[in-house]
Amino acid sequence: MTTYLAIITTALVISQIIRVVQNAISLHRQNTVFKAECDELYKLTDGDFKRQKEFYENGNEFFKRMNAIENGIFFKYIDKELGWMCESEEDNE
């Protein structure tokens, strides 16, 4: 009976060791992929954030002006940055 228990215990210990090794290999692979993805984030510069901010501001301005057009505000003056012609409702009266 003790021989049987020793064999079963040894098999369980070996299976747990194999499991720990497999988990270590999997974590190593995930760590490699994670570091590769993080390297892309480290390549971002202040210029990237500046361009994103400018894009957001220009988009915001575009939609404000489109909303104004839909609400009957006509554009008379030229905005050199965006190329809009702007005119207020008061100028039409």
Q: What are phi and psi of 77, to 5 degrees?
A: -85, 160
Question: Residue 44: which of 56, 55, 52, 34 has the closest Cα?
Answer: 52
Q: Is the pLDDT at 93 greater than 70, yes or no?
A: no
pLDDT in tens, 1-40: 889 899 999 999 999 999 999 999 999 999 999 988 887 7
Q: CA distances (Å), 27 to each of 14, 20, 30, 31, in order?
A: 20, 10, 5, 6
Q: What pLDDT shows up at residue 71? A: 63
For 81-85, which contacts have Cβ atoms below 8 Å and span 24 or more sequence positions?
A: 82/58
pLDDT at 11: 95
Q: Where exactly are the structural domains of the chain?
A: 1-43, 45-93
Taking only the tens place, the pLDDT of each residue in 31-84 is 999 988 887 777 777 888 888 888 888 888 887 777 766 665 554 444 555 555
